[in-house]
Amino acid sequence: MRTTRSLLFLALLAPASALAAPTPSLWGLLAKTDYIQVGTGGPIAYDFFDPNCPYCAITYKLEQPYLRTGELRIRYVPVGFITRSSLPKAAAILTAKNPAQALAENFQPMPKSDRGAIPPLPRVSLRLKFALLANQSILERVGLSIVPDLFYRTKQGKVEIIRGIFPGYILQDVADSQVPKLPTR
């Protein structure tokens, strides 16, 4: 019997075919995003996040064991659309002396506070604003309007997308470059 959590997961897990069809060129676009890479081993996944997204904080925490063991490399792709402070916070994370540390600090107090800890930049350069909007346009291109979104490739080279929050065990399938195994009845 499926639990409510499993049903929510099924509703949020979107094979690429359910969205605008990702193409090999999508993977090339992902590589050109402004991102923060964490991890040094395993396959690459792109995790789109908003600094003020409590679900992104949960996903971030679920990914950490896979990063520490070298099973995954996550490229965290910031966007900024949940609140007015989201874009300036995303800019602050990208321009920090150590962006990976700034990302970790941002998600430390969440999801209790529903707001990331990093203070927003008082002024965001036009170049950085365009970069963050370009990141967001990739989501829009494939019909996504929520975060977190995790993009990765299977062993066959197909781009898969997991939208929204997901159970932690799905990350093992991502680390193995497999299509996620859905919960069974």
| Residues 128, 94 contacting (CB under 8 angstroms) | yes
Sign of the Cα pseudo-torsion (15, 37, 120, 136, in order): negative
CATH architecture, domain 4-22+34-75+84-175: 3-Layer(aba) Sandwich (3.40)
Question: By the 8 A CB rule, do 9 and 167 touch?
Answer: yes
Q: Is 185's pLDDT higher than 60?
A: no
pTM of the model: 0.85
Cβ neighbours around 39 below 10 Å, total: 21
Contact criterion met (CB below 8 Å) for 39 and 72: yes
pLDDT of 122 strictly over 50:
yes
pLDDT value at 182 more than 70:
no
Mean pLDDT score across all residues of the chain: 85
